[in-house]
Chains A and B, each alone.
Chain A
Amino acid sequence: MKFVDEYRDPAAARRAVEEISVISAGEHRKFMEVCGGHTHTIYKHGIENVLPTNIELVHGPGCPVCVIPMGRVDDAIALAEQPDVIFTSFGDMMRVPGSKGNLLEAKARGADVRMVYSPLDALRIAMANPERQVVFFAIGFETTAPSTAVTLLKARERGITNFSVFSNHVTIVPPLKAILDSPDLRLDGFIGPGHVSTVIGNRPYRFVPATYGKPLVTSGFEPLDILQGIVMLLRQLRDGRCEIENQYTRAVRDEGNTKALQVLAEVFELRPHFEWRGLGFISHSGLKLSPAFADWDAELRYLVPGVRVADPKACQCGEVLKGVIKPWECKVFGTACTPETPIGTCMVSSEGACAAYYNYGRFTREAAAAARIPVRSA
C-alpha cells in the first residue's frame, strides 16, 4: 500500500486530494485514463485508495502491447523464423502470446530474436551485420512512431538496405472515438495521455468536448500530475465548462512537436483499417510505411501470413480495454490468466490494466473499499 506521503511533494498531493473531495461533493464521477502509463502509476502508487469513493477511474486502451491482435504476433513470429533474419523487438512484445506461442519461444526454437531499447539500436545491429537481414517489430503510439520514422530516414540516408520495419504503430484518436461511440460506457471526462501529446499536441482532442461534450485534461505521469488532472476535470464539471486543458505544461504544447509530426507524415501513412485486440477493426487507426519507404517495409519484403486469429473466448481484454469491466471482473483474471501465463495481452505488459492490477492492487482492493484510507487534511 502506498500513501500520498510517498509522492513527490506530498503536501501538494494532500491539497489536491482534499480539493477533489470538496469539489466532487460526493457526486459519482467516472474518468478514463487513456494511457497505460497512467494506469501503471495509479496502481503502483495506490491513487485509487486515496481518492474519495465517488471518484471512479477506468482504464483506457493506451497500452500498445495490449492492443496488438494475436494474428500480428503470429506474423512477427513468421518473420522471425525466416532464414538469416535477426528479429528485433521491444522487451514486452517478446512474451505476448500468438496462436502458436510467443517470440521468446520462437527464440528458443532457434530464431534470432533480440531485444532492443530503441529502433536505432536495431539499425546499429543491421550496420554491424551486413550479411544478415534485420527486421524491427515496430509498435507504439505517436510517442514511439517518430523514433521509428527517424530510424528509417537514417537507413535511407546511409543506404542501409538490410534493415526493414514491421509496422504496428497505432494512433490514439480513433480508439478514443470508438470508446466514445460505445453504448455501454458512460464517462464524465478523460485524463489525456502525456507523452503522446508532446508529439501530437492537444488540438487533435478537440472533438472530445466539441462533439461528445466531455472534458479532457492532458496530464503528466507523476502521482501528483494525475491528482491535479482529476482536480482540473472536476473544476470544469463544477463550473459547467467542457474543454481541453493541459496539466502537463512542462512538456506538452498545444501544437505538439511539429518536427516529429513532419517526420511522421513523410515516413508513414494511415492504413484504411487496423485490428485492435478486443476493439475489432478501427478505421484509420494504424500506420504503415509510405510508398517512399516501401524498400524498408517488412510486409512487402517478406510473405507475411496475415491470418486473423480470434481472441481466446475466455479472455475479456476487449471489455477491460474499453473500461466496461474492471480487471478483476474478468472470468479468468488471476486464475487461468496471470503474468506468468497470460491469456490476454492486458496481463502481459506491466502497463496493461490486468497486470498492473494483479501486481499492485488485488490484495488491497477489498480492504481499501471496506475502509477507505483516511486522507490527512492539509
Chain B
Amino acid sequence: MTVLRPDAAPAGGADLGASAGLCDDLARASLALARRFAAGGTLWCVSPSSTFHAHHVAVEFVHPVIMGTRALPAVVVPAGADLVASLRATVRPGDMVVAVAGAAEAEVAEAMRRGPAWGTETVWIGAGPRPADGAADHVLWLDLDDPLVASELFVRIYHLLWELTHVCFEHTGLLRPDTCEEEVCITCSDEGRTAEVVSVDDLGEALVRTAEGREHIDTTLIDPPRPGDLVLVHAGSAIASLEEGR
C-alpha cells in the first residue's frame, strides 16, 4: 500500500506539505465512505476546474483493479454542468460527494453546505488557503502553494481514499453505521435541522428536503423562501433562513 506520512517525502522529492492529522483524517474519511458504500450509497465526484481529477476518482472507485475487490458506484458530475442543480437532482440520502477543488470555488462550497439537507457525506480535497471551518465533513487539505505539486498529491490522496475504503471492507465489523437510535427531544435539544426548500405555496407552507426525507413545514416566521434556499426547521416551522447575510 502507498504510505502517506507527513514526515516522509514522496517519490520525486517534492515536499508532501501534509499537516499532521491529515493521515488520520484520510483514514476517517475512508471509513465514512466505506460505511456509506456498504449501505448502498453512491459516490458523486466533482472537480469543476480540473475535471480529470473527478474522472480519476470515479474510475478508481468503479474499477475493481485488485482481484476480488468490489466495483463501487461512482459517478462524475460533468464539466460545465450546474453543479448544485446536478447534485440536487441526483444525490439521495446516504450518498457521498467528493470534491477536488480550491477553497475559492463557490459552487463547490455551495454543494458542500447542502450536505446536511441532502443527507450526503462530504469530502473536500484541496490545497492552499483552507475553506471555512466546517465547510465539509472531511477537509483533506495540503499546505502547498504550487498547483502542480498539489495536483500530483491529490492523486495520491484519492488513491489512498479508495484503497483505505477497501481496507475497511475487509473488516466488516467496521461497516456498521454509527446509529443513533435514541430519542431526541426537539425542544430540549433546541433542534434546528437543516432543510432545503423544494417548493413554496401561497399559504406560507413549503415542501422541504431533509436528510430524513421530504416534509411539509410552515414558513410564516421567515421571509418567504425560494426553492433551493436552506432553512432551519424546529417543530415543523422554519425559524431561520440560512441564506441571509451570505
Do chains A and B interact in one complex?
Answer: yes
B188 adjacent to A351 (CB under 8 Å):
yes
B222 adjacent to A257 (CB under 8 Å):
yes
B141 adjacent to A141 (CB under 8 Å):
no
A186 on the B face (CB < 8 A): no
B239 adjacent to A198 (CB under 8 Å):
yes
Contact of A118 among B20, B141, B190, B235 (CB under 8 A): B235
How far apart are B99's CB and chain A's nearest CB, in angstroms?
14
A9 adjacent to B222 (CB under 8 Å):
no
B139 on the A face (CB < 8 A): yes
A350 adjacent to B28 (CB under 8 Å):
no
C-beta contact mask, A233-274 vs B, less than 8 Å → 1, else 0?
A: 000000000000000011111000101100100000000000
B55 on the A face (CB < 8 A): no
CA of A117 to CA of B186, assembled, Å: 8
Task: Determine the chain A residues whose CB is within 8 A of the CB of B235 once the complex forms.
Answer: 90, 117-119, 140, 143-144, 147
C-beta contact mask, B170-188 vs A, less than 8 Å → 1, else 0?
A: 0000000000001111111
A121 on the B face (CB < 8 A): yes
How far apart are A39's CB and chain B's nearest CB, in angstroms?
9
A11 adjacent to B21 (CB under 8 Å):
yes
A350 adjacent to B182 (CB under 8 Å):
yes
Most A C-beta atoms less than 10 A away, residue of B134, B222, B232: B134
Which secondary structure dominates chain B's binding surface? Answer: loop
A337 on the B face (CB < 8 A): no
C-beta contact mask, B102-142 vs A, less than 8 Å → 1, else 0?
A: 00000000000000000000000000000001111111010
B7 on the A face (CB < 8 A): no
Which candidate, A48-56, A62-70, A106-114, is the interface stretch facing chain B?
Answer: A62-70
A12 adjacent to B183 (CB under 8 Å):
no
A196 on the B face (CB < 8 A): yes
Task: Determine the chain A residues whose CB is within 8 A of the CB of B60 once the complex forms.
Answer: none
Considering the complex, give the chain A residue whose CB is closest to the CB of B180.
A44
Contact of A376 among B21, B133, B189 (CB under 8 A): B21
B188 adjacent to A224 (CB under 8 Å):
no
B222 adjacent to A64 (CB under 8 Å):
no
B234 adjacent to A352 (CB under 8 Å):
no
CA of A140 to CA of B236, assembled, Å: 14
A195 on the B face (CB < 8 A): yes
A9 adjacent to B242 (CB under 8 Å):
no
A35 on the B face (CB < 8 A): yes
B188 adjacent to A92 (CB under 8 Å):
yes
List residues of A (310-360) whose CB comes within 8 Å of B's CBs.
349-352, 359
Task: Determine the chain B residues whose CB is within 8 A of the CB of A6 once the complex forms.
Answer: 28
Most A C-beta atoms less than 10 A away, residue of B139, B220, B245: B220
A5 adjacent to B25 (CB under 8 Å):
yes
B218 on the A face (CB < 8 A): yes
B187 adjacent to A64 (CB under 8 Å):
yes
A40 on the B face (CB < 8 A): yes
Contact of B237 among A11, A36, A150, A253 (CB under 8 A): A150
B239 adjacent to A257 (CB under 8 Å):
yes
B19 on the A face (CB < 8 A): yes
Evaluate whether A11 and B19 lie within 8 angstroms (CB atoms) in the complex, with A5-B24, A118-B237, A147-B234 already known. Answer: yes
A195 adjacent to B183 (CB under 8 Å):
no
Evaluate whether A251 and B133 lie within 8 angstroms (CB atoms) in the complex, with A117-B235, A352-B188 already known. Answer: no
A229 on the B face (CB < 8 A): no
CA of A121 to CA of B234, assembled, Å: 13
Task: Determine the chain B residues whose CB is within 8 A of the CB of A195 once the complex forms.
Answer: 190-192, 232, 234, 239-240
CA of A199 to CA of B187, assembled, Å: 14
B185 adjacent to A253 (CB under 8 Å):
no
Task: Determine the chain A residues whose CB is within 8 A of the CB of B188 once the complex forms.
Answer: 36-37, 40, 62-66, 92, 349-352
A224 adjacent to B21 (CB under 8 Å):
no
B87 on the A face (CB < 8 A): no
CA of A35 to CA of B222, assembled, Å: 23
B25 adjacent to A141 (CB under 8 Å):
no
How far apart are A281's CB and chain B's nearest CB, in angstroms?
21
How far apart are B33's CB and chain A's nearest CB, in angstroms?
15
B198 on the A face (CB < 8 A): no
A139 adjacent to B135 (CB under 8 Å):
no
Task: Determine the chain B residues whose CB is within 8 A of the CB of A153 once the complex forms.
Answer: 220
A211 on the B face (CB < 8 A): no
Considering the complex, give the chain A residue whose CB is closest to the CB of B216.
A120
How far apart are A317's CB and chain B's nearest CB, in angstroms?
14
A14 on the B face (CB < 8 A): yes
A228 on the B face (CB < 8 A): yes
C-beta contact mask, B196-235 vs A, less than 8 Å → 1, else 0?
A: 0000000000000000000000101111000000001011
| Other contacts beyond A5-B24, A198-B192: 17, CB < 8 A | A6-B28, A9-B133, A12-B133, A37-B190, A63-B185, A91-B185, A143-B190, A147-B218, A198-B232, A251-B192, A251-B242, A257-B221, A259-B221, A259-B223, A349-B188, A350-B182, A378-B19
7 closest pairs, A vs B, by CB? A118-B236, A351-B188, A92-B185, A140-B187, A12-B133, A37-B190, A198-B240
Chain B residues within CB distance 8 Å of chain A: 19-22, 24-25, 28, 133-139, 141, 182-192, 218, 220-223, 232, 234-237, 239-240, 242, 244-245
Chain A residues within CB distance 8 Å of chain B: 5-6, 8-12, 14, 35-37, 40, 62-66, 90-92, 117-121, 139-141, 143-144, 146-147, 150, 153, 193-196, 198-199, 221-222, 224-225, 228, 249-253, 257, 259-260, 263, 349-352, 359, 376-378
**Listed A/B pairs (24) with beta-carbon separation below 8 Å:** A5-B25, A8-B136, A9-B136, A10-B25, A12-B133, A37-B190, A62-B188, A63-B188, A64-B187, A65-B188, A120-B218, A120-B237, A141-B190, A150-B218, A150-B221, A193-B190, A194-B192, A195-B232, A225-B134, A259-B221, A263-B220, A350-B182, A376-B21, A378-B20
